[in-house]
Chains A and B, each alone.
Chain A
Amino acid sequence: DAGVIQSPRHEVTEMGQEVTLRCKPISGHNSLFWYRQTMMRGLELLIYFNNNVPIDDSGMPEDRFSAKMPNASFSTLKIQPSEPRDSAVYFCASSPAGGARGNQPQHFGDGTRLSIL
C-alpha cells in the first residue's frame, strides 16, 4: 500500500518567493498533520485537519503560512513570502479514526527539505 506521499522532496528557492508543499495522505485516513523539523526547535506541529476541516492551527508561525485541504486525498502548505528562517524539513502525516483514546498511530511521509536562500 502507498504511504503518505509528499512533494517535492527538496526545494531550494530565494527569499520572497512563494513555496507550496504538497501531501497525499493514505487513503481512508481522516486526519492530516503538518509538522516542521529543525535542529533548533525539533519537531513542531503546525496544523492538523480532521475530515478536511482545520482543527488547530495554533502552531502556524505567522500569517505567511497557510494550509488547505480541499479534499480527502490532498493538502497543501504554502509559505508566502518565504524567508531564510523558514528553512527546515516539513513533514506531512495522516492517521485513521481512532476514537477518544487516541490509540491510532500517525503515518509520516518522507518530508520536504526546504532551503530558502
Chain B
Amino acid sequence: GNSVTQMEGPVTLSEEAFLTINCTYTATGYPSLFWYVQYPGEGLQLLLKATKADDKGSNKGFEATYRKETTSFHLEKGSVQVSDSAVYFCALSDNQGAQKLVFGQGTRLTINP
C-alpha cells in the first residue's frame, strides 16, 4: 500500500540555519504530495503542495520538489526563524477521488534564538 516515511525528529536548529526535513514515499500511480504544519494547540495547516513530477511547491520561504525518480519530497528553508517551530507532516494523496491522504509520522522542529 501507499506509505510516507519522514526523517525522525526531533530536530533542533539555531535561528537562520538551513533546514531540510527528508520525506520519501511509496505509491502506485501519480499521487499529489503535501507538506502540512501543526503549531502547538492547533490543527494541521497546508504549507505547500505539488501535484506532478518536477513541480516545486513553495510558501513562507519553504520549498519542496516532487522527485519521482527518487520518490522524495524533501522540505527545505534557507533561513529558519523561531516562529517556524512546529511539527511538520509529509503526506500523499491516495488518488481515490475523495482526497484521502496518507501521512508520515511527523517531525518536530524546534528553533532556538
Contact assessment for A109 and B43 in the assembled complex, using a CB-CB cutoff below 8 Å? yes
Distance to closest chain A CB from B110 (angstroms): 16
For chain A, give the interface size range: 20 to 34
| A45 / chain B contacts, CB cutoff of 8 Å | 100-101
User: Do A106 and B97 touch across chains, with their CB atoms under 8 A apart?
Assistant: no
The yes or no answer to A100 lying at the interface (CB within 8 A) is yes
Assess whether A102 is in contact with B44, with CB atoms less than 8 Å apart: no
Q: Quick one: which of B44, B95, B99 contacts A31, CB cutoff 8 A?
A: B99
Contact B100 A42 (CB under 8 A): no
The distance in angstroms between the C-alpha atoms of A104 and B44, with both chains bound, is: 15
Residue of B whose beta carbon sits closest to that of A53: B98
A82: B residues at CB distance < 8 A: none
Within 8 A of B (CB), among A75-107: 91, 93, 95-107
Contacts of B100 in A (CB 8 A): 33, 45, 48, 55-56, 102
Query: CA A104 – CA B103 in complex, angstroms?
Result: 15
Is the CB–CB distance between A100 and B44 below 8 Å?
no
Instruction: Say whether A110 faces chain B, with CB atoms less than 8 Å apart.
Output: yes
The answer to whether A101 and B95 touch across the interface, beta carbons within 8 angstroms, is yes
Q: In this assembly, does A66 line the interface, its C-beta being within 8 Å of a C-beta of chain B?
A: no
A101 to B101, CA, bound (A): 12
Which bucket holds chain B's interface residue count?
A: 20 to 34
> A108 contacts which of B32, B44, B93 (Cβ < 8 Å)?
B44
Taking CB atoms, residues of chain A closer than 8 Å to B99 are 31, 95-98, 102, 104-106
- For A98, the chain B residues whose CB sits under 8 A away are 97, 99
Cβ of B89 within 8 Å of any chain A Cβ, yes or no, is yes
Which of B46, B89, B95, B106 sits near A100, CB closer than 8 Å? B95
Q: Whole-angstrom distance from the CB of B57 to the nearest CB of chain A?
A: 11
- Given A42-B105, A42-B106, decide whether A102 and B42 contact each other with a Cβ distance below 8 A: no
On chain B, the residues within 8 Å of A103 by CB distance are: 32, 49, 51, 93
Q: Is A43 an interface residue (CB 8 A)?
A: yes
Known: A48-B100, A98-B99, A110-B41. A105 touches B30 (CB 8 A): no
Are B51 and A101 in contact, CB atoms less than 8 angstroms apart? yes
Spell out A's residues near B (CB within 8 Å): 4, 31, 33, 42-43, 45, 48, 50, 55-56, 91, 93, 95-111
